[in-house]
Structure 1
């Protein structure tokens, strides 16, 4: 907001709620589409959590992280999709200031936790391929639990500070957000104050929670690739690459869309593009994760088949 607009709104009442414009037109069709996607996300990620928990063969570090990622994806999409579907079907686009702050916090908190969790998964693959003899010793249960808990803790502290910083700003109008959830870039455009310090804080947070983790993943895979290429057996190289390919696809989708949204100068046109790109890391990635990890992972497919066979046998036995 420029100085002239700020002066205009100074004498107006303070904003108590925002209007999430979201996606306009065909509300029933959009509601049906997003409901189907949300149910698919819950089912797909829920199945991975159940399968990797019940099958003893999948009680390994790699599947521990995959189970954590799937549980996180369920929480992550639940922050935005139910509210968006309610807006579409009820026609009420409003969200209170407190609810907006809560939604923004959980989106940033869970999204950044996923960034850090993907780093932990890259480190897990690095140890498995580059230091296989010490893998199980280094990646003990205590260590992997500590890595997941640390991911949550670091993200929690950073984003409590970030949310406090954003919502300490005065919002005197207008109150329409051209987005389907409360995100930092469109919210900052509605503040009637100097945004230099806030924009600096946003870039610092992006460097810490997006660029740095992504750099660590790239460094891990540089070492992994070098070690794979040194393997004498073509079969060994193919197997090693296959254990990393699913993770690399998820990293590319999640970080690619996230960086395009948060690491470029914000303009009126870019905000419209950002709304579309946000669908990738909030909806498409959680939807694709189960497919990527099951279709490209033989062990998960075998475990899922065993689970379904047991269920069928139980139904036949009790029928």
Structure 2
């Protein structure tokens, strides 16, 4: 029995979501500090899974999705911070926006919608580019957005911090958004648009000859991807309790790209595995960076060890496992051929 692509995608998403649910059950038994680390990792997972929707299916590595994360965070601030504080921190906002004080869920949905709208506008010219030119174009978008976040002081607070966001992000809520994003990524992957986009990724000439409008399919994935990353940005703002421009630039871009590359950027399973691997490695290196005590001996930490460790891990993967830890494969349903039953995995 051969299962449909949609059934395979839902099976993959179901297994990944079940693993997250198990992680949350275990996490609720941990200390407050450990729960916060796990919550941050789940938000990163939502970002990486959202980025995968475009990167994994198109084959175009994006360096600009953290800009959408920032858009989601600032939108959440504009919609949910108390009017009196907005009037003081962001006097350049329209009066109608200053007067709003919506529920955090509205901020999350608004962040996703704003990021998707920006992706639609920016994606129209960007999707005309291919290969390294497209990747550089996404990086240019990130630089522009960072400049806007940092210097439009009357609307974004500039280099200062926006505070006063409602307390909303918890471990279950972060897990919920991660699960929704994984499900959305799986459904897009199994859709006709996702198939056409992956076809153009594997053989652009054959896809064009078959009538696939690569630019259109990339734009759809780009907008869909930005929506989920924008929602994660709003949740990230509630998690940090402040919004500051420096948070949405190169450091977070490097971490999320490392998660995709190390796990395997051509599979949803790889995005999840890469996020888990990098999150654990980062936390271990961060602890070592602060110094290690072995009995009576205390060793001072090495500053920058976290960045060096992640860079080394990415380099090793690129050298010895170019398709990532998962090899670009998914966890899929068992398939039966003749009388034999076996587990089939595929990109």
> Is TM-score (shorter-chain normalized) higher than 0.5?
no
Greater per-residue helix proportion: 1
Give TM-score scaled by structure 2 length.
0.27
Give TM-score scaled by structure 1 length.
0.29
Q: Larger Cα Rg: Structure 1 or Structure 2?
A: 1
